[in-house]
């Protein structure tokens, strides 16, 4: 759960720790990555259980939607590994990551590649959801939140753009294997 053990023990005194099996994790991650490669040979894996795929070309070549690709890909991962996974389809990686968390476990969320839909969606997010990937940005965002009492990302939309994020890039599929 990406939580330190001592905090987990405080929250759940009967917590049982299971010894990790990284060989097994690596094996199943490799199987999932073979599936990803079929959809985007240049996919970007951020860890054993998370990867980003640009599905723009697949959608265009096959005349299908991002939703159909996500569903197909999730089914293929399940068939190959026996594991379920979640997916988010959005105009860029940052937003796709957030979308992948919405219908967990074993679900998907599709955000249309439309400026109004994206702006509306992003405007409701806490800053920590959007600026998760750069520690310095999260710290800067947290300072802004504390100092100015901003509660939603809409108020710092210009900051996000100033930091170099282009939220209207190509369609990106974020994959998160559970």
pLDDT by position in tens, the chain (length 178): 568 888 889 999 999 888 889 999 999 999 999 999 999 999 999 888 899 999 999 999 999 999 999 999 999 999 999 999 999 999 888 889 889 989 999 999 999 988 889 888 887 877 666 555 444 334 444 444 443 433 344 444 555 555 555 544 433 334 333 3
pLDDT of amino acid 120: 86
Taking the domain 21-177, which CATH number applies? 3.30.70.270
Please answer whether residues 92 and 167 qualify as being in contact, where contact means their C-beta atoms are separated by less than 8 angstroms.
Answer: yes
pLDDT of amino acid 123: 78
125 burial level (CB within 10 Å; 0-12, 13-18, 19+): middle
pLDDT of amino acid 136: 37
pTM: predicted TM-score of the whole model, two decimal places = 0.69
Where exactly are the structural domains of the chain? 21-177
pLDDT of amino acid 4: 85
**Using CA atoms, how far apart are residues 20 and 26, in angstroms rounded to an integer?**
11
Residues noted as catalytic: 50
pLDDT of amino acid 42: 93
Please answer whether residues 96 and 52 qualify as being in contact, where contact means their C-beta atoms are separated by less than 8 angstroms.
Answer: yes
pLDDT of amino acid 35: 95
């Amino acid at each position: 759960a990406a939580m330190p053990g001592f905090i987990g023990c405080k929250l759940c005194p009967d917590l049982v720790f299971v010894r990790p099996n990284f060989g097994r994790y690596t094996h199943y991650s490799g199987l999932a990555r073979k599936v990803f490669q079929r959809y985007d040979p240049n996919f970007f894996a951020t860890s054993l259980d998370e990867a980003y795929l640009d599905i723009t070309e697949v959608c265009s070549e096959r005349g299908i939607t991002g939703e159909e690709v996500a569903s197909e890909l999730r089914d293929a991962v399940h068939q190959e590994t026996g594991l379920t996974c979640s997916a988010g389809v959005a105009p860029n990686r940052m937003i796709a990551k957030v979308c992948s968390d919405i219908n967990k476990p074993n679900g998907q969320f599709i955000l249309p590649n439309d400026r109004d839909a994206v702006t509306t969606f992003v405007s409701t997010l806490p800053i920590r959801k959007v600026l998760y990937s750069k520690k310095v940005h999260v710290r800067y965002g947290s300072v802004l939140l504390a100092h100015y009492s901003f509660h939603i990302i809409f108020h710092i939309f210009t900051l996000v753009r100033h930091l170099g994020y282009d939220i209207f890039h190509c369609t990106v599929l974020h994959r998160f294997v559970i």
